[in-house]
Structure 1
Amino acid sequence: MRIISLSVDGIHQAAQRGLYDWLAEQDADIVCLQDLRAQEYELDHDTFHPEGYFAYFFDSGIPHTNGVAIYTRHMPKALIYGFGFASGLDMQGRYLQLDFERLSVGSFLAPNAEPGNEQQLEEKVGFFDDLQAHLHKISNKRRDFIFCGNWAMARDRSDVQNWQNHEDEDGFRPHEQQWMRQLVDELDYVDAFRRVNSDGDEYSWWPSGTVGEGDGWRTDLQIISDDLKHRIEYGAINKNKQFSSHLPVIMDYDIEL
């Protein structure tokens, strides 16, 4: 099973840059997109409903902001919109989950905090605290999970180019690094790409907007249940095409739906 995840910086722009032509050549079973910046009614066109896929969208309700999508060749048994945090903070980001027989696949967009905006920073901290509790709870279920998305945070120094120039920036603050490490070290989830690729120069996001200009970050991850770690067959960040400031993450798993 091949899963591709990509944060698109606006789905219409990505489509104009050839995203759907490229996807048609990738033979993916599931495609998870984030940061659509479009309402679902604006995607009622064949371009956004590629042949052979079921298409599901979860927009923000606010024009030109966030939103996620999942394309799948296999019809899911159920759809889940949002994490359902009691605090309501899950609406600061976006999450759409498809449930299959024993596997759930989610498309996830984390909230960002603009520099100097203390309210957004507090909301982001609260969001990830709620998410950590949620991930701990579901780890006890007899179900495997693959969370694909733009996590807006880097875990280690190897995930940020020239990391020393970005300490205390949003996405690389000490408490954010700690949170990402706890996800892997204490909650026993697995960074699928890092399981098969330990190279230090693999980056998926360029804040400058252009791949290779400025410093790259690796914030686009497929986080998987521990039971799936031995089913990873291949992982790559595709550098041949640029559809946004992010690059596609391609993972192959020995899983049948």
Structure 2
Amino acid sequence: MVETLRVASVNVNGIRAAYRKGMGEWLAARDVDVLALQEVRAQDEHLQQFLGDAGWHWLHDPCDIKGRAGVAIASRVPATAHRVGLGAADAQERIQSSGRWIEADFELGGKPFTVISNYTHSGEVGSPRQEAKWAFLDAMGTRMSELAAEGALVSIVGDFNVGHREFDIKNWKGNVKKSGFLPQERAYFDRFFGPKGETVTGVDGSEGPGLGWVDVGRKWAGEVDGPYSWWSNRGQAFDNDTGWRIDYHVVTPELGERVENYVIDRAASYDERWSDHAPVVVDYRV
């Protein structure tokens, strides 16, 4: 039997609300080794209550603005090191990365293995929120190049707040001018996943070097609609599966070769959801 390590990620939309609605039961049954959370919106004492008291080791980067954002990584074994924030120190205010990026180092089969919980800005066209998103995506690309140059096994997981391709949004035609599916945003992902070192022409016509990372979800599912990971709470979006795939596992090529299984844990019914996002769960061969 192949030995695997299970990494799960989910935007919990507030960990206290998620636990009230059943997140604890899901986690207890899912046999996860490393859990990356986004939009935690809580304090350290809450993570201790929900995770620490259950035997998890946890790391947390709360947002500077109380009640907003927040990312965390919980694990069965303690991380050997961790880092918070994205981008150069002198650009932190522009990037606004507090509570949005945390890296934790582990081992996988005797090799260094890094898991990053990422919560990209949602953005809003023509507003400072979109400017912060552009800066964040720029900094993400720079960090991805650094990590790839180190040759490590790396998994950047979480809520990227961009649907890369038409497959990734049920109603893509109605969203081409909205943040989350702007051609300029999607072009970043064209470069992230483009052949390393080759010139990549993005969907917006821009050109840049490919970084060579792997979108585990698309590689596993193939050229099909979805599977989606987020549904609006408005209308019948969940029941009609009118969703977005904005939660990713983005990995270095060597780690991509170790994928044994990929699944989105979509709730059986609307009433059984404990977040508007579904967990994304990937097994990696040790």
Q: Does 1:81 align with 2:80?
A: no
Higher alpha-carbon Rg: 2
> Structure 2: how far apart are the matches of 1:216 and 1:150?
14
Q: How does 1:156-235 map to 2 (within 5 A)?
A: 156-185=165-194, 186-198=210-222, 199-208=224-233, 211-212=238-239, 215-235=242-262
The Cα shift of 1:40 comes to 2.0
Task: Tell me the TM-score normalised to structure 1 length.
Answer: 0.92
Instruction: Tell me the alpha carbon deviations over residues 126-168 of structure 1, each in whole angstroms, 9 at most, x when there is no partner.
Output: 1111211221122110311101110010100000002111111
User: Matched residue of 1:250: which SS?
Assistant: strand
Which of 23, 33, 38 aligns to 2:42? It is 38
1:103 counterpart residue number: 113
Q: Are residues 141 and 114 of structure 1, via their aligned partners in 2, closer, same or farther at CA, if it must alter by over 3 Å?
A: same
Runs (4+) off by over 4 Å? none
User: Matched residue of 1:31: which SS?
Assistant: strand
Aligned residue identity for 2:123: A
> Structure 1: how far apart are the matches of 2:106 and 2:51?
23
> Structure 2: how far apart are the matches of 1:66 and 1:48?
18
Aligned residue identity for 1:192: V
Structure 1 unpaired stretches of 5+: none
> Structure 1: how far apart are the matches of 2:258 and 2:143?
24
Structure 2 unpaired stretches of 5+: 195-209
> Structure 1: how far apart are the matches of 2:98 and 2:61?
13
- The answer (yes or no) to whether the contact 1:195–1:229 under 8 Å persists in 2 is no
Aligned residue identity for 1:66: A
- The answer (yes or no) to whether the contact 2:153–2:255 under 8 Å persists in 1 is yes
Across the two proteins, how many residue pairs are aligned to each other? 253
User: Matched residue of 1:100: which SS?
Assistant: strand
> Structure 2: how far apart are the matches of 1:151 and 1:32?
13
Q: Are residues 141 and 195 of structure 1, via their aligned partners in 2, closer, same or farther at CA, if it must alter by over 3 Å?
A: same
How much is the aligned-residue C-alpha RMSD, in angstroms? 1.8
> Structure 2: how far apart are the matches of 1:59 and 1:40?
8
- The answer (yes or no) to whether the contact 1:211–1:242 under 8 Å persists in 2 is no
User: Matched residue of 1:137: which SS?
Assistant: helix
- Over the matched positions of the two proteins, sequence identity in percent amounts to 28
Aligned residue identity for 2:102: L
> Structure 2: how far apart are the matches of 1:100 and 1:42?
24
- The answer (yes or no) to whether the contact 2:226–2:244 under 8 Å persists in 1 is no
